[in-house]
Amino acid sequence: MAVEDEIQFERDGAVARVWLNRPHKKNCVTVPILNRLDEIITEVDADPELRVLILRGRGNTFCSGFDLDSLKADFIGSSTAIEVAVLSAKVCDRLYSMKTPSIAVLEGHVTAGGFELMISCDFAIAADDALIGDFHIRRALFGGAGPIYRVPRMIGVRKTKELMLTGKLLTGVEAAQFDLINSSAPADKLDATVEEFADQLIDKSPFTMWITKMTIDRSLDADIQSLMVMEHLAVGVMLNSEDAAEGVSAFLEKREPQWKGR
């Protein structure tokens, strides 16, 4: 199967839909799939018509991690082992840092590398019965694409240790209670819940979305005085943007804004 079949990219109006398509292996990823995802992220960010990226898996499961057959054959016990960690971290960070907001749609298994993809998305919505967790420790492995620096910022150190040191799996309902995801829904209402959430993003200024997302992503990485300076600069950038002028004018004229994306 060609990599374009194993990770599928569809345009649906303002929505970029990315599907992992290896359901026979619970959508586990490989190096070619990660490289292709990297290309897709770049393509989505370069397309002004696309306002949100939705990442999910075929066959009612999200992603069970990196393909262990490939890991054993190509990386375990080899000097190349660090290469897969570097690649995974690069791609997940590009997903986390992209201009376009992203939503992970979680069904079935969301473990190991799939868990890392999920925490790299801006939002996550799960089926109530999804199974979500870092899981690496159950195989004497260590996650190389974000658990130690993304998860504590989301749920705190104690709950991160609980997830990573026990290898426990949370249902979608439990993951929402853990503040690990945004929400969960019954399986038959998952699609509608995702569409309603995406609709709240696609009608906003993409330029403002980018600036706001970028500053929030840095909000836990600096002292308050530095963040205040960043905030001041962001305000100045926005007040000089065409979208801010359009947003204010549209409000005063009681009409829908027509965003320029700049």
Q: Are 20 and 58 in contact (CB under 8 A)?
A: yes
Confidence of residue 105 (pLDDT cuts 50, 70, 90): very high
> What is the average per-residue pLDDT within 186-213?
96
Confidence of residue 76 (pLDDT cuts 50, 70, 90): confident
Confidence of residue 67 (pLDDT cuts 50, 70, 90): confident
Eight-state DSSP code of residue 18: E
Residue 94 is predicted with a pLDDT of 96
Confidence of residue 259 (pLDDT cuts 50, 70, 90): very high
> What is the average per-residue pLDDT within 117-136?
97
Residue 197 has pLDDT above 90, yes or no: yes
- The answer for residues whose C-beta is within 8 angstroms of residue 131's C-beta and 6 or more apart is 108, 109, 110, 111, 169, 170, 171
Residue 82 has pLDDT above 90, yes or no: no
Q: How many residues does the chain have?
A: 262
Residue 56 is predicted with a pLDDT of 98
> What is the average per-residue pLDDT within 49-72?
92
Report the alpha-carbon distance of residue 224 to residue 230 in Å, rounded: 10
Residue 68 is predicted with a pLDDT of 81
> How far does CA 143 lie from the centroid of its chain?
16
What mean pLDDT, rounded, does the chain reach?
94
Residue 55 is predicted with a pLDDT of 98
Packing angle between helix 31-45 and helix 81-97, nearest 10 degrees? 20
What is the number of other CB atoms lying within 10 angstroms of the CB of residue 134?
28
Confidence of residue 72 (pLDDT cuts 50, 70, 90): confident
